[in-house]
A and B are shown apart, each in its own frame.
Chain A
Amino acid sequence: MVVHTQTPRLEKLRRGVMELYISDHPLDCLTCAANNDCELQDTAAEVGLRDVRYGYDGANHLGAAIDTSNPYFDFDPSKCIACSRCVRACDEVQGTLALTIDGRGFASMVSAGQTGDDFLSSECVSCGACVQACPTATLQEKAVKEIGKPERAVVTTCAYCGVGCTFRAEMRGEQLVRMVPWKDGKANRGHSCVKGRFAWGYANHRDRILTPMIRESIDQPWREVSWDEALGFTAGRLGAIKAQHGARALGGITSSRCTNEETFLVQKLVRAGFGSNNVDTCARVCHSPTGYGLSKTFGTSAGTQDFDSVMHADVILVIGANPTDGHPVFASRMKRRLRQGAKLIVIDPRRIDLVRSPHIAAAHHLPLQPGTNVAVLTAMAHVIVTEGLADEAFIRERCDWDEYQDWARFVAEERHSPETLEAVTRVPAHDLREAARLYATGGNGAIYYGLGVTEHSQGSSTVMAIANLAMATGNIGRPGVGVNPLRGQNNVQGACDMGSFPHELSGYRHISGSAKPARCSNRTGASRSIPNPACASPTCSTPRSMASFRAIYIQGEDILQSDPNTHHVAAGLKAMDCVIVHDLFLNETANYAHVFLPGSTFLEKDGTFTNAERRIQLVRKVMEPANGYADWEVTQALANAMGLGWNYTHPSEIMDEIARLTPSFAGVSHARLEAEGSLQWPVNEAHPDGSPIMHVDGFVRGKGKFVVTDYVPTDEKTGPRFPLLLTTGRILSQYNVGAQTRRTANTVWHPEDLLEIHPPMPRTGASRMVTGCA
């Protein structure tokens, strides 16, 4: 068969349809925001439309009111050609199904939600998919209307969550006009959420500090100084403290929002410059249980799958994660798979959106009592083992059989049955049994988890309990299965990979290990004379050990807000002689700082981020740093002020050093990333093109290790002094402590944090549960 797409008849037909379109379209092309960026305009030109013979005095939509309710884009029905692309984008890509065509015939019109709704009051989550799909200026970014058509674009990686969406930063001169999701991005596949797509205004917010500031003590006002003076002051103080109190009095905290290269430099500065291993990162309070738990059971401190894997899953188990709010772009893909028929199990105290939303319904929702993750997972393991649902062939081949048998005996004990544990977990035993059977027998089973697992006591045990379940059912080592942590921040995986823990160098090499000590001490300067690494994060320090710190360098993290027990953190900071805050904004931690070094945004630097699927992607500078220097340059300048003599001229040189030192990064370079778009570590001789899915032929550690996970009740119990059980959750429009998103129009959706209280909360008796945002 021969298909002809261009014939005189077709050309005439196309022109005829275009003539009808234009007979109901405003002829304001020259003043339209989409001028020269309009498919309708292009097509009219292509088909050779020269005349609209119907005239323009017929029925039309030209008087329709513009909906300006969304802070980032307008909806102008007069320009709508009712093509339904926006509706389909909302349905099929985003999966929110907020848009529809209202009315019919000539009155057909795109509408958000119910009649009377505008975009803001509708179910719309402002992901921007409709704006991107719109062929005209009907759905148009306000920024394009205000600034004009972009003239160039730079592909870069989003600096919000751990999904790691890549975007085209579309520029007009030095001004960012809009962020458009990059269709070739392997993490996001052309999709975006409200944060990455629209909430970048913080980069130019008036609150940004652009000049270094110092003060002798925290009760004095800040004094703006030159970079030289600030760095000289800092180096002098650090030197004096080191001389007086020793190297162990100095520490640093790397930032999960900064690049791999910047993070690497901060930990290198601490080890080589400060002379201690007192380095830590935010993962200490979020996903370090993931690192520990998966390293112990599988051999690698990261998730096992790529995001594409979810499209092959038959049963999806979500535990302690709220993907539609926390990882919305990945959630859209998960929802697409669920609409295709995959089954869903949600283990969460809250009825998160995934439990029931348009065309999505969880097969099982296990609303557990907070703090009982291990009990629930062990009960599931009990069902799988005692009902003979374990994949014995897989276990014999891939795991340590003796350890499995120990574990199987343990979970099979009656005290771990769903019926017995129901008293603790409050999950109906029947539901739990059904969920366990579904996961074990429903085909490819994939587990996705978040901070509801790791930000708890017994976090590491829970991660290992998850790994046990996956191994016991053979759900490891191929597409559609696996154990997948949904990492919180854009580069929290990378920050961990780069050696941001006291006991680990880049690539999770233990500092006391035998792995090439010469390389370590030469290149990173890790001081091997320190036998017991301390921990820099105030969270894991007792007030006593915190008091031994005299100086701390904190890059891109507001520990006073984000770490638990604010009073404890404040006391620790207050006791220090030199707190260096390196950040975009004068954050809460800066109240206790002596030095403030202005930071740069992700738009102002080169480097790489590593997302939750171990995908290393380039961050490209799209504008000059407003503060003068990218963060890696500031860290280097501080190192040099301390006499370290660093001379990196570009972050690619730092990555080259990381690759030389880190086996799992051996094949990574900016040149390769430039050529190939992204790489998933490990990238080395064994995996020259990276590793989308891990543990394919065998576990990295050799045999998969079953670990006995005994449930230990949390000591965080309600009582007269603390009558409420609180837990944290995610908010779609806000991110982390809000340093960025609170400085954008996203506040329209979530102006302030609220405690949500379960309506039928009993006044007496059982503990009450309240949730808020983190």
Chain B
Amino acid sequence: MNAIGGGTASGRPVKAVQVGGPLGAYIPPSQFDLPFDYDAYAAADALIGHGGIVVFDDSADMGAMARFAFQFCAAESCGKCTPCRIGSTRGVKLVDRIRGGGKPRPTRSKRCPRCTTPARPRSRAEDLQLLEDLCETMQLGSLCALGGFTPYPVRSALKHWPEDFER
């Protein structure tokens, strides 16, 4: 990164690189020794994608980048499958909620007793679990790679920079 690319444009230290496009995983400097091949990347929960590399300096907010992944997916979604169509929109909101500290939800008067239990405030741990569940639903349930790959940037950001999700 530093030898060939000359470091970041701002001159600040590298915080992360995203490999493979907007839906590629974020890779921290600790993994920069990862060989650039499909198997190694797959083993590290990352992907080569279109092979492009985007470098982020240490001013990057990785929580915001996770949010952007959902936003990108929502903007590009064709709407055919539910995990991508609804999941991407819900993901944006969920990241906001996690970063905002888990605000209690407003309750709604009309609800079906067969379908849901009454709303209650969620703990941060519960919301992080929901985020992981959403990633799993989108990864396994989406019809194409748009919804299926959105979890890469989200999960990697959360895994390597959990502090960026606390605000």
Q: Is A199's beta carbon under 8 Å from chain B?
A: no
Q: Is A24's beta carbon under 8 Å from chain B?
A: yes
Q: For A4, what are the chain B residues with a Cβ–Cβ distance below 8 Å?
A: none
Nearest opposing residue in chain B for A103, CB measure: B79
Nearest opposing residue in chain B for A30, CB measure: B112
Nearest opposing residue in chain B for A50, CB measure: B117
* Cross-chain contact B141 with A58 (CB below 8 angstroms): no
* Cross-chain contact A59 with B136 (CB below 8 angstroms): no
Among B83, B110, B137, B141, point to the contact of A27 (Cβ < 8 A): B110
Name the distance in Å between A314's Cβ and chain B's nearest Cβ: 34
Q: For B141, what are the chain A residues with a Cβ–Cβ distance below 8 Å?
A: 13, 16-17
* Cross-chain contact A23 with B110 (CB below 8 angstroms): no
* Cross-chain contact B137 with A23 (CB below 8 angstroms): no
A103 CA to B87 CA, complexed, in Å = 17
- Residue picked from B94, B108, B115, most chain A C-beta under 10 Å: B115
Q: For A726, what are the chain B residues with a Cβ–Cβ distance below 8 Å?
A: none
Q: Which of A104-112, A158-166, A202-210 contacts B (4 or more CB under 8 A)?
A: A104-112
Q: Is A52's beta carbon under 8 Å from chain B?
A: yes
* 8 A Cβ contacts from B134-167 to A: 134, 136-137, 140-141
Among B79, B87, B111, point to the contact of A20 (Cβ < 8 A): B87
A52 CA to B94 CA, complexed, in Å = 12
* Cross-chain contact B115 with A41 (CB below 8 angstroms): yes
Q: Is A55's beta carbon under 8 Å from chain B?
A: yes
Nearest opposing residue in chain B for A16, CB measure: B137
Q: Is A21's beta carbon under 8 Å from chain B?
A: yes
Q: For B76, what are the chain A residues with a Cβ–Cβ distance below 8 Å?
A: 105
Q: Is A755's beta carbon under 8 Å from chain B?
A: no
A17 CA to B134 CA, complexed, in Å = 9
* Cross-chain contact A27 with B112 (CB below 8 angstroms): yes
Contact with B along A18-59 (1 / 0, CB 8 A): 011111101111100000000001001100011111111111
- Residue picked from A49, A58, A82, A107, most chain B C-beta under 10 Å: A58
Name the distance in Å between A99's Cβ and chain B's nearest Cβ: 15
Q: For B89, what are the chain A residues with a Cβ–Cβ distance below 8 Å?
A: 58-59, 105-106
A388 CA to B68 CA, complexed, in Å = 72
* Cross-chain contact B86 with A106 (CB below 8 angstroms): yes
A752 CA to B112 CA, complexed, in Å = 46
* Cross-chain contact B105 with A56 (CB below 8 angstroms): yes
Number of B interface residues at 8 Å Cβ cutoff, please give it. 39
Among A41, A58, A104, point to the contact of B78 (Cβ < 8 A): A104
Q: For B112, what are the chain A residues with a Cβ–Cβ distance below 8 Å?
A: 27-30, 41
* Cross-chain contact B110 with A105 (CB below 8 angstroms): no
Name the distance in Å between A89's Cβ and chain B's nearest Cβ: 17
* Cross-chain contact A17 with B78 (CB below 8 angstroms): no
Q: Is B50's beta carbon under 8 Å from chain A?
A: no
Q: For B119, what are the chain A residues with a Cβ–Cβ distance below 8 Å?
A: 55-56
Q: Is A81's beta carbon under 8 Å from chain B?
A: yes
Nearest opposing residue in chain B for A81, CB measure: B82
Q: For B93, what are the chain A residues with a Cβ–Cβ distance below 8 Å?
A: 54, 58-59
- Residue picked from B86, B114, B133, most chain A C-beta under 10 Å: B86
* 8 A Cβ contacts from B119-137 to A: 119, 122, 126-127, 130, 133-134, 136-137
Known contacts A13-B140, A45-B114; decide if A20 and B83 are in contact (CB<8 Å): yes
* Cross-chain contact A105 with B105 (CB below 8 angstroms): no
Q: Is B77's beta carbon under 8 Å from chain A?
A: yes
* Cross-chain contact B116 with A50 (CB below 8 angstroms): yes
Known contacts A20-B87, A27-B110; decide if A104 and B105 are in contact (CB<8 Å): no
Q: Is B75's beta carbon under 8 Å from chain A?
A: yes
Q: Is A84's beta carbon under 8 Å from chain B?
A: yes
Q: For A19, what are the chain B residues with a Cβ–Cβ distance below 8 Å?
A: 137
Name the distance in Å between A512's Cβ and chain B's nearest Cβ: 69
* Cross-chain contact B83 with A108 (CB below 8 angstroms): no
* 8 A Cβ contacts from B93-116 to A: 93-94, 105-106, 108, 110-116
Q: Is B27's beta carbon under 8 Å from chain A?
A: no
A20 CA to B85 CA, complexed, in Å = 9
Q: For B90, what are the chain A residues with a Cβ–Cβ distance below 8 Å?
A: 20, 23, 54, 58
Name the distance in Å between A640's Cβ and chain B's nearest Cβ: 57
* Cross-chain contact A27 with B77 (CB below 8 angstroms): no
Nearest opposing residue in chain B for A24, CB measure: B86
Q: Is A717's beta carbon under 8 Å from chain B?
A: no
A45 CA to B86 CA, complexed, in Å = 20
* Cross-chain contact B77 with A105 (CB below 8 angstroms): yes
Nearest opposing residue in chain B for A41, CB measure: B114
Q: Is A389's beta carbon under 8 Å from chain B?
A: no
Nearest opposing residue in chain A for B79, CB measure: A108
A55 CA to B113 CA, complexed, in Å = 15
Q: For B130, what are the chain A residues with a Cβ–Cβ distance below 8 Å?
A: 53-54
A531 CA to B103 CA, complexed, in Å = 96
B residues apposed to A, CB below 8 Å: 74-80, 82-83, 85-90, 93-94, 105-106, 108, 110-117, 119, 122, 126-127, 130, 133-134, 136-137, 140-141
Q: Can you spell out 16 A-B residue pairs with CB atoms less than 8 angstroms apart?
A: A12-B136, A16-B141, A17-B82, A26-B110, A27-B108, A27-B111, A27-B112, A30-B112, A44-B114, A52-B115, A52-B116, A56-B119, A101-B79, A101-B80, A105-B85, A108-B79
